[in-house]
Amino acid sequence: MAQKIKLFATDVDGTLTDAGMYYCANGDEFKKFNTRDGMGIKLIQAKGVKTAIITSENTEIVSRRAKKLEIDYLFQGKRPKIETITELCGEIGISLDEVAYVGDDINDLDLLSAVGLKACPADAVKKIAEIPNIIKLSKKGGEGAVREFIELIFEKGLA
């Protein structure tokens, strides 16, 4: 049986969102988040699992969403995701085997390959969907994939 999950982490674009980048005439950017994903995050937090968002982008929109969801750790920027999570695991005293991560694109490959429990939305890129032991979710990014993964974690008794 897999280890209990102590950290639930997620990508943003293509996972918490539909991977679209929407701009209005004055250049403001919009992202659509799924409220059911947000409720899933609140539910896993209630089980005592720490939460993290890690994204290559750096936007105020993601900062606001993370604050609203009371995400424990928010990482935005250029650094390789695997390095970021490995360092965080060291700081909080857990192993990568105790991390659940959901991501959809090539910049998630190393991290997904390293964690104990991994999943990708139904519309993830082929290289991600082919990672050994990855859970291929039935929902697309931004359409409840994160909530689906969290519910699977609960069903397996891992949180």
Tens digits of residue pLDDT in 87-145: 999 999 999 999 999 999 999 999 999 999 999 999 999 999 999 999 999 999 999 99
Say if 40 falls within a structural domain.
Answer: yes
Residue 2 has pLDDT above 70, yes or no: no
Say if 2 falls within a structural domain.
Answer: no
Say if 18 falls within a structural domain.
Answer: yes
Identify the domain containing residue 65 by its residue range. 7-155
Q: State the Cα–Cα distance between residues 142 and 46, nearest whole angstrom.
A: 22
No. of helices (H) and no. of strands (E), the chain: 6, 8
- So what's the pLDDT on residue 11? 96
Query: How many residues are present in the chain?
Result: 159
Say if 109 falls within a structural domain.
Answer: yes
Say if 30 falls within a structural domain.
Answer: yes
The answer to whether the Cα torsion of 71, 130, 110, 20 is positive or negative is: negative
Judge contact between 105 and 129, C-beta under 8 A.
no
Arithmetic mean of pLDDT, 3-31: 92
Say if 147 falls within a structural domain.
Answer: yes
Say if 58 falls within a structural domain.
Answer: yes
The tally of domains found in the chain comes to 1
Structure tokens at 92: 């909080």
Element (H, E) at 45: helix 35-46
Say if 1 falls within a structural domain.
Answer: no
Q: State the Cα–Cα distance between residues 40 and 26, nearest whole angstrom.
A: 34
pLDDT in tens, 18-56: 998 888 898 888 889 999 999 999 999 999 999 999 999
- So what's the pLDDT on residue 71? 98
Structure pTM? Answer: 0.95
| CATH code of the domain in which 41 resides | 3.40.50.1000
Residue 1 has pLDDT above 50, yes or no: no
